[in-house]
Amino acid sequence: MNKKHYLTLALALAMAGTAHADPTPDWGDKISEKEFLEAAKRSFYLNDPKEFDRLRDETLEVCNATKNRPSAEQTKAILEREQKTIVYPKDGKLYGDWKKGKIVVEDAHGGRIGYPGFADADNPKHPNGANCYACHAIDPNFPQAGNMGPPLTNYGKLRPKTDAMVKYTYDKVYNSKATNPCSLMPRYGGPKHLITPEQVADVVAFLLDPDSPVNNPPVTTK
């Protein structure tokens, strides 16, 4: 038997061995959601047992149960509840410094896994960033961008710089679920800010300001 025949026989035996294999492995008895949550709770180190309460999210429960299609009544309740969580800067200015916003948008630092209560386990004093490029294309000069969210290049050129648009953009960045109930975008504000209200205002300026590189993409020539 030559080499070719050996290979053919080996392939046939391998296929025969898998032909009768059960494609659905037996994972044992299924556990309930309550049992899963209790097991997950036991696997985390907590400074305070109440810290686990942050994983209970009424809005996400509705979105999961309805497969991201809440009823009109549920949508109204979500929007009203989430809107109440939004905090605005103490000075009342929702439009900050676009140059500072550029730093926040680009910075991927913050919100990392570590002991509860710390913004960053390595350096709790380091300010958080938004890591927006993980999901969006924004400044075309930035070397990388994600495509999970819509592109935001020319955001300010495509929208009027009105008070209503500034507020909408602020609300969207601070808590996306206040404008879209089942949005996949993280809540950047909230009880424990990923970024502060002032940083959100700076991000708003970065997106809307006519001098921002977001609204001045480079002209490419062939």
Instruction: Tell me the average confidence (pLDDT) per consecutive run of 10 residues in the chain, 222 residues long.
Output: 52 48 57 80 74 80 93 97 95 96 88 52 70 93 91 95 96 96 89 83 97 85 58
Give dist(CA 71, CA 65) in Å, integer: 11
The answer to whether 165 and 178 have CB atoms below 8 angstroms apart is no
Tokens of 75: 């949508």
Give dist(CA 161, CA 178) in Å, integer: 20
Range of the domain at 188: 77-215
Which residues make Cβ contacts (< 8 Å) with residue 169, sequence separation at least 6? 204, 207, 208
Residue 16 domain-assigned (yes or no): no
Task: Domain count for the chain, please give it.
Answer: 1
Query: For residue 181, what is the domain's CATH number?
Result: 1.10.760.10
Give dist(CA 199, CA 83) in Å, integer: 18
Residue 28 domain-assigned (yes or no): no
Query: What is the predicted pLDDT for the residue at 177?
Result: 95
Residue 69 domain-assigned (yes or no): no
Residue 153 domain-assigned (yes or no): yes
Residue 102 domain-assigned (yes or no): yes
Residue 117 domain-assigned (yes or no): yes
Residue 144 domain-assigned (yes or no): yes
Give dist(CA 178, CA 168) in Å, integer: 10
Residue 22 domain-assigned (yes or no): no
